[in-house]
Amino acid sequence: MFRLEKFTPTEAAKVLRVIANTEDLQFDDRFVAELAEQELANREDSVLISIAEEFRQLENTSVTRQMLSETLQAAQTIEGPSDQSLALNEIAEAYRLLEDTKTAQQLLRQALEAAETASSSNSLASIAVTYAKLKDWGGALRALRRCQEEEKVSALTEVLTLWAEKQNPVLRELREEEE
């Protein structure tokens, strides 16, 4: 899931500007900056987060890639390594969905380094799951090694589920039917 709440209001406004420009929509800088400020202050129920999630589902991959490129630039400027690792992981996940494995792997390496610097167990767990979705089991294990037990159990469960689904595709079909 792509989360704009990891960005400052200014960075979130930049992401929304790219979306507006690629869709030929009018863009009011002041209004969007104020909206971003208000929305990101209330991170629990953010309209901006919903907009970003919907945008990711667009089928126009060139538009999505342009948006991700701008988002990545903003993510590189995030101050805290924990928040930066979460943002990079989410961007890597988006590239994975676009089947750009190489870019996803590069971003995951950066995310892993930032998460290790911050000793962020939550970030490491998320990164492990993204590695598993890319079928990079070694990367998943590297990320899990430094997780605290609470996050490690949940992430390891997800990683093992993905591995089992790889071994037996019928399991994946069953899970998709349940969702």
Inter-residue contact 92 to 143 (CB < 8 Å): no
Give the pLDDT band of residue 13 (cuts 50, 70, 90). Answer: low
Helices (H), the chain: 9-22, 29-41, 47-56, 61-75, 81-97, 101-118, 121-133, 137-145, 149-167, 169-178
Residue 119: pLDDT over 70: yes
Number of folded domains in the chain? 1
144 inside domain:
no
Q: What is the DSSP letter of 79?
A: S
- Quick check: pTM over 0.85? no
87 inside domain:
no
6 inside domain:
yes
Domain that residue 33 falls in = 1-69
pLDDT in tens, 41-97: 444 333 333 444 555 555 556 777 777 788 888 888 888 888 888 888 888 888 887
108 inside domain:
no
Q: How far apart are CA 31 and CA 145, in angstroms?
A: 44
30 inside domain:
yes
83 inside domain:
no
